[in-house]
């Protein structure tokens, strides 16, 4: 569920190499896409990748607080961007403010609401992959997460339709009839091949 295998294969071998340097955490398709930290649970962290030619992304997630006291998302660390700016007040989205997570409730970061702006991407982010980030909560502390990189126009985490539009547009724009060429590779289980390569 986290990342479709065929998407990885479609990106080509050179990018697969990145998987082993922390760009992409190993697929956790069988597990839920969520992270516990103290009494908090971060569910489906994801981001809208920068559009072509742009360098800014936006980060979203569900944050559940099962504790009895409020907590706050006060910082986000992400190596692949210059800055992460938290816009946590739904009434003052233009300001930099923490995301408050009241006790026994869920705070949703989503398009049109509270979000974290990631600015100044240092390198290209591959849609369909994952991005390692650290969320820092005032009380619960830090948690490392693997955010799903969704298409720039995705409406929710793992937006398959947006992903499909993105893939189609980019197969056509960048490398011609890649779909046909890539088809055999989809059956080739390149992921495992890479592991054997890795052993050399
Ligand atoms: Cu998810």
Q: What are the structural domains of the chain?
A: 5-192 (2.60.40.1890)
pLDDT of residue 171: 80
Q: How far is the CA of 143 from the centre of ligand 1 (A)?
A: 16
| Closest listed residue to residue 130, CA positions, set 118, 142, 145 | 145
Rounded (5°) CA angle 178-59-55: 60
| pLDDT tens-place string over residues 48-104 | 999 999 999 999 999 999 999 999 999 999 999 999 999 999 999 999 999 999 999
Is a pLDDT exceeding 60 seen at residue 7?
no
Cα 61 from Cα 43, distance rounded (Å): 6
H/E run at residue 6: helix 5-10
pLDDT of residue 86: 98
Token code pair at residue 161 = 């339709």
Beta bridge partners of 136: 75, 142
Cα 11 from Cα 31, distance rounded (Å): 24
Q: Pick the more confident residue, 81 or 25.
A: 81
Q: How far is the CA of 124 from the centre of ligand 1 (A)?
A: 21
Task: State the pTM of this model.
Answer: 0.72
Q: How far is the CA of 166 from the centre of ligand 1 (A)?
A: 18
pLDDT confidence bin for 31, thresholds 50/70/90: low
Beta bridge partners of 57: 118
Is a pLDDT exceeding 80 seen at residue 43?
yes
Q: How far is the CA of 131 from the centre of ligand 1 (A)?
A: 12
pLDDT confidence bin for 200, thresholds 50/70/90: very low
Q: How far is the CA of 46 from the centre of ligand 1 (A)?
A: 7
Q: How far is the CA of 97 from the centre of ligand 1 (A)?
A: 25
Q: How far is the CA of 109 from the centre of ligand 1 (A)?
A: 13
| pLDDT tens-place string over residues 124-176 | 999 999 999 999 999 999 999 999 999 999 999 999 999 999 999 998 454 44
Say if residues 149 and 130 touch (Cβ distance below 8 Å): yes
């Amino acid at each position: 569920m986290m990342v479709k295998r065929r998407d990885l294969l479609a990106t080509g071998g050179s990018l697969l190499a990145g998987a082993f340097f922390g760009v992409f955490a190993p697929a956790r398709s069988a597990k839920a896409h969520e992270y516990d930290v103290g009494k908090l649970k971060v569910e489906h962290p994801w981001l809208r990748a920068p559009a072509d030619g742009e360098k800014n992304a936006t980060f979203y997630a569900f944050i559940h607080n099962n504790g009895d006291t409020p907590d706050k998302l006060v910082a986000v660390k992400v190596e692949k961007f210059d800055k992460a700016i938290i816009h946590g007040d739904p009434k003052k989205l233009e300001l930099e403010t923490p995301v408050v997570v009241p006790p026994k409730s869920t705070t949703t970061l989503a398009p049109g609401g509270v979000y974290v702006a990631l600015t100044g991407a240092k390198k290209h982010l591959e849609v369909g992959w994952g991005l390692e980030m650290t969320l820092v909560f005032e009380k619960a502390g830090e948690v490392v997460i693997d955010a799903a990189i969704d298409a720039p126009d995705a409406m929710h985490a793992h937006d398959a339709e947006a992903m499909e539009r993105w893939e189609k547009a980019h197969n056509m724009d960048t490398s011609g009839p890649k779909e046909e060429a890539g088809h055999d590779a989809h059956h080739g289980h390149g992921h495992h091949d890479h592991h054997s390569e890795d052993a050399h």
